[in-house]
Amino acid sequence: MPYLEDELFPSTPGKFKIERTHNMNRQFHRCFASTSIMFLWALFLIVLTASYLSFRSFVDSGNRYLTVSWGGIQWEKQIRNSAHIRRPGGMSVLVTGAAGFVGSHVSLALKKRGDGVVGLDNFNNYYDPSLKKARQSLLNSQGILVVEGDLNDAGLLAQLFDALAFTHVLHLAAQAGVRYAMENPNSYVHSNIAGLVALLEICKSADPQPAFVWASSSSVYGLNEKVPFSESDRTDRPASLYAATKKAGEEITHTYNHIYGLSITGLRFFTVYGPWGRPDMAYFSFTKNILQGKTITIYKGKNGEDLARDFTYIDDIVRGCLGSLDTSGESTGSGGKKRGPAPYRNFNLGNTSPVKVPRLVNILEKHLRAKAKRKIVEMPGNGDVPFTHANISLAQREFGYKPTTDLQTGLKKFVRWYLSYYGYTRKDIQ
Ligand SMILES: O=C(O)[C@H]1O[C@H](OP(=O)(O)OP(=O)(O)OC[C@H]2O[C@@H](n3ccc(=O)[nH]c3=O)[C@H](O)[C@@H]2O)[C@H](O)[C@@H](O)[C@H]1O
């Protein structure tokens, strides 16, 4: 049986040598060629993998910038510019709900006096978001950045607090509206409870901790009948889910004060109105409907009595917000640890002179030079309370709060703004 070696190496002398050398060359070339091919393949695979990975990271970063309007070096620079303090002893304030009614006014006032302001707003569509966008443009024109994002986005909050050590947080973002709570209860839990806790969590962990001032509501007095409403009055009988979430907010903030040493100030706003206001509120929707010749519905109490509100003009509220920020006192904790007791305060910010709703309509008719088509109906059981009336002596004592605008004057300013913003001319209301 021939050996394998004999098959590979034929026995013919002379030829053998040549054939063998030739075969060895062929083997060598074949071997060299296959090693080169393998090497090229490996190289090709490495290049392919590297290209894929860099393509993925490009796509990922592209997606990040397409879907998220925050993050990155440029963004952090914008935050720092917006929060830049231009007066001695000034503050850098994160204003949540900055594209909202009260938020936009207070942000402008803070910026004007030299404080740094960064806004945060989710631009939800509870009412016309184009009005919020218009307020945002106004703020931008004054050098205030309004970041678009939700309070419940922990990643965004972390980035904001990483970018800047805010001295104060003015938390005005909320699901507002008393009667809407029956339509969309979850939105109140999302913003007024979960959103509040998310924000408090980041504040408590911050080092240093900011002082925390936030919007509670006159609605916490609920079915309270003692007038005027004082901060020490009962607030355990809310009439609406909205009121209940604001009351819960007062309790929640108390725990963060108690456990973590956060300085807390809650502001109980009384039916705030004025230019750049909220379209869902009565004075705003009445104005719109009166101008369009549509019927307005006016609620009456169970016994036929008129409802009344302690309507408070926006400029007075702005002064109240600045006063409470200025006197907030410092948080004592840092990095989630309490180091001592910190202030916990709640203040009424009202006007101290309630006005009946039909009187509000009379004033609007005068300013709009138009008659309202009124439909009077009994107040539906939807969370409304018959009246509100603030005792403001506590805020007066603490930071000199003193409202100066009566409803007649304030509505005149509102109507002037409304006509101009919605493009009416004087001729339209002759
Ligand atoms: O102080 C607050 O904490 C709250 O103030 C505001 O609530 P309210 O005082 O209820 O204001 P608003 O809706 O303007 O109704 C005013 C009056 O008009 C009556 N009203 C209302 C609507 C209508 O169609 N007809 C009517 O008679 C109505 O019955 C009421 O008597 C904020 O919206 C709320 O977010 C919260 O901040």
User: How would you classify residue 253: left for phi > 0, otherwise alpha for psi between -120 and 50, otherwise beta?
Assistant: alpha
- pLDDT band at 3, cuts 50/70/90? very low
pLDDT recorded at residue 22: 46
**pLDDT, tens only, 356-410:** 999 999 999 999 999 999 999 999 998 999 999 999 999 999 999 999 999 999 9
Position 168 pLDDT exceeds 80: yes
Report which of 410, 365, 373 is spatially closest to residue 274, judged by C-alpha positions.
410
Catalytic residues: 242
Q: Which of 175, 178, 299 to mutate to test the pocket of ligand 1 (most atoms within 8 A of CB)?
A: 178
Whether this model's ipTM surpasses 0.90 comes out as yes
pLDDT recorded at residue 24: 43
The residue to which tokens 């009379």 are assigned: 362
CA dihedral 333, 336, 338, 342 (to 10 degrees): 50
Task: Show the ligand 1 pocket: residues with CB < 6 angstroms.
Answer: 176-178, 217-219, 269-271, 281-282, 297-299, 307, 309, 357, 384
Instruction: For residue 282, give the ligand 1 atom closest to its CA.
Output: 14
Instruction: For residue 281, give the ligand 1 atom closest to its CA.
Output: 14
| Bigger pLDDT: 30 vs 156 | 156
**pLDDT, tens only, 276-296:** 999 999 999 999 999 999 999
pTM confidence score: 0.86
Cβ distance 287 to 414 under 8 Å?
A: yes
